[in-house]
Amino acid sequence: MDVLNELVEAIEIERLKNLGDFEVQMSQPLDERVAKGVTMSKLRVEFEFYAGLPNKWCSFLSDSDKYIAYAKVYCENNISKFKEGNSVRLTNGAYNFEMEIEEDSPDNFILKPNDFNVKHCRINGKNYPQNNWEINTIHSDITTKLLLTTAQLLNSESDRLNRVERFLNGHIKNTYHNHSQKVAHLNDSQNNAYLQAINSNSFCIIQGPPGTGKTETISNIAKQLVEAGLKIFVTAPTHTAINNCMNAISKKIGDASKVVKIGEKAQSKEIKENILKKTRLTYNNYVTSVDCNKNGIAIGATPHALCYPASKKLDGWEFDVAIIDEASQLSIPLAVSAISRARKYIFVGDHKQLDPIIPKDTKNEMFAGSIFTRLAKVYPDDINLLNTSYRLNQSLIKIPNRLFYNELLYSDSTTKEDKEEYHCTYHPSLLNGVAHNLVLHNVFDAQGRSPYEAKFVSELVYDLVQNGIHLKDIGIISPYRAQVREIKKEVKKKLSSFTSGTFDLLFIDTVDSIQGQERDFIIYSLSNSYPLESKTRLDFFYSPNRLNVAITRAIKKCIVIGNYKIFDIREEELSDHEEYQNVKPSLDIFKLYYDLSTKIEINEGGDDEW
């Protein structure tokens, strides 16, 4: 790989793709944009206003105009792809406000301007239109500008470029120190990875399949490195993943002066105690600060924070070690931004789980897969596999172990089989049956949203709650955000006796949002009756990695619900499809999953063909 040229080309490819996608979306008729989930229209909005000035960059307004604190947006049928954290544009005629989604519920959104945009978000507080508002996506080139900073850095420093290029092409040979002190409570595979990470001079690759304790391993590695007086950069594709790591590290270290999270307030909301939270920390400010330890520190931030001077978050920092978690979801260009500012790299991930969203069919090696996939290919003998699952019991581990891990995983002796007897109103055979069930039905109501499956899910939740199961122990997932909202509506109706506060404890979200988490009970709604007939986005729906994540979140029971047509894969009908050769290995995984699963068929239409 020619790193510099490939990186510059990749940045331009992604910029043009994002711009092209945005222009195509916005050129479509309104009803098509709404149907595709990139626009919401005919919305009712209620504004809440600041009593005074939101910040020092805002000037005083006339008596009638007010700065918007937040907007509550009401919608009857939310099928959009928007989610919490997205930047959107709220418009109505001449009014045009750039805001961020603070809260996403089935019936409404809460939008809030950030500190920079709030000065532009002002309106007559007593006389403004409440109806016919519209929400659209926003196009931004900020990622392009940040990544170009990394390209400029590598172009100007040949030694740095050479080190990164040799690493990504598999030409780095590790040398090792002789630290031999293991961590008493870690298992053998975790200790092997721990010692490799501590002793290696250049890099370490750790594969952490579901429930194998990769966060525990990371936290012990970080603790040892910080205690050795090193400057550690902890990063991941999302703030949620970074926060999860920082919380685990802070528990080991117990000193806020040694653990720092960089991010805006909303990006650090999961952060717990013994962590110093800052929006930025330049190296010069760190040197003179009184609240940061000077002899060993772990700083968590996204890779973009090291794209200085375009980013001011961590201006001037060079790190001894970069720990990259969820590396299987990190693109190579973003990974380059992180490793360009560090001397040693520790990658933790699992290339059998979710991939990053990257441009396809570009012939650019930067977009051939995630950074973890790249490293697994060029350093196959350097992968340290964590092989003991503390989540999946012997019944739940069988299918993923066969499908994805070559039978190399083991259930820890602490995992337990669910032998409870459940008294159910709706589905006793499911809850009292085997640990992993595939429920097949013949209701054709879905391409991304299935009212039938949503109702079925709500009945299962009712049965579980009826047996004293706490909502916080249940996880409900789907590939599609529209189905997430449909399920939320149905479950809320079914559990109408519960307060909204209690309901918030129930996890209902996309598969992509649950990676790294677990629940006692997982219900997976596939919500697509026509995936093969439509022949669109087959690679998304039939993603083996997404299936792996979905079926490996459960501690006690996993229930997958889908139309039988999903598994009615007839290759003779697909062989002429342009995606067929690329998607065939994925279809084979789904067929094998079908064969390995315990199936329950529910005939709702009297159709005997299946």
CA distance 527 to 454: 9
Dump pLDDT digits (tens) for 69-97.
Answer: 999 999 877 778 887 778 899 999 999 99
The whole-number average pLDDT for the span 404-429 is: 95
pLDDT score, position 41: 92
CA distance 76 to 64: 31
The whole-number average pLDDT for the span 536-561 is: 93
pLDDT score, position 536: 63
Domains of the chain (ranges; CATH) run: 37-139 (2.40.30), 142-386 (3.40.50.300), 408-602 (3.40.50.300)
Please say if the pLDDT value at position 266 is more than 60.
no
Of the chain, the percentage scoring pLDDT greater than 90 comes to 75
CA distance 39 to 33: 5
pLDDT score, position 607: 56
Q: What is the DSSP letter of 425?
A: S
pLDDT classification of 224: cutoffs 50, 70, 90: very high
pLDDT classification of 116: cutoffs 50, 70, 90: confident
Please say if the pLDDT value at position 148 is more than 90.
yes
User: Using an 8 Å Cβ cutoff, are 81 and 38 in contact?
Assistant: yes
User: Using an 8 Å Cβ cutoff, are 86 and 78 in contact?
Assistant: no
Q: Mean of the per-residue pLDDT values for the chain?
A: 92
- Angle at CA 326, nearest 5°, toward 205 and 81? 155
Task: List residues bridging with 108 in a β-sheet.
Answer: 74
Please say if the pLDDT value at position 610 is more than 60.
no
Dump pLDDT digits (tens) for 347-364.
Answer: 999 999 999 988 888 899
The whole-number average pLDDT for the span 103-128 is: 88
Please say if the pLDDT value at position 534 is more than 70.
no
Backbone angles phi, psi at 4, to 5 degrees: -65, -50
Structure tokens at 147: 């990544």
User: Which of 14-18, 47-51, 606-610 is predicted least confidently?
Assistant: 606-610
Residue 138's SS3 state is coil
Dump pLDDT digits (tens) for 471-488.
Answer: 999 999 999 988 998 999
Residue of higher predicted confidence among 495 and 230: 230
Please say if the pLDDT value at position 11 is more than 60.
yes
Please say if the pLDDT value at position 586 is more than 80.
yes
pLDDT score, position 422: 96
User: Which of 51-65, 383-397, 458-472, 491-505 is predicted least confidently?
Assistant: 491-505
pLDDT score, position 13: 95
What is the helix (H) or strand (E) element at residue 197, kind and residue range? Answer: helix 188-199
Residue type for position 365: E
Residue type for position 527: S
The whole-number average pLDDT for the span 140-160 is: 94
DSSP letter string, 62-81? -SSEEEEEEEEEE-SS----
Structure tokens at 46: 């209620």
User: Which of 380-384, 413-417, 481-485, 524-528 is predicted least confidently?
Assistant: 481-485
CA distance 111 to 587: 40
Place of tokens 């013949």: 442
> Which residues are within 8 A (CB) of 382 and not within 5 positions of it... i.e. 6 or more apart?
174, 203, 204, 205
The whole-number average pLDDT for the span 214-234 is: 97
pLDDT score, position 431: 95
Of the chain, the percentage scoring pLDDT greater than 70 comes to 97
Residue 459's SS3 state is helix
Residue of higher predicted confidence among 24 and 448: 24
pLDDT classification of 579: cutoffs 50, 70, 90: confident
The whole-number average pLDDT for the span 582-600 is: 94
The whole-number average pLDDT for the span 578-599 is: 90
Please say if the pLDDT value at position 573 is more than 90.
no
Dump pLDDT digits (tens) for 40-65.
Answer: 999 999 999 999 999 988 999 988 99
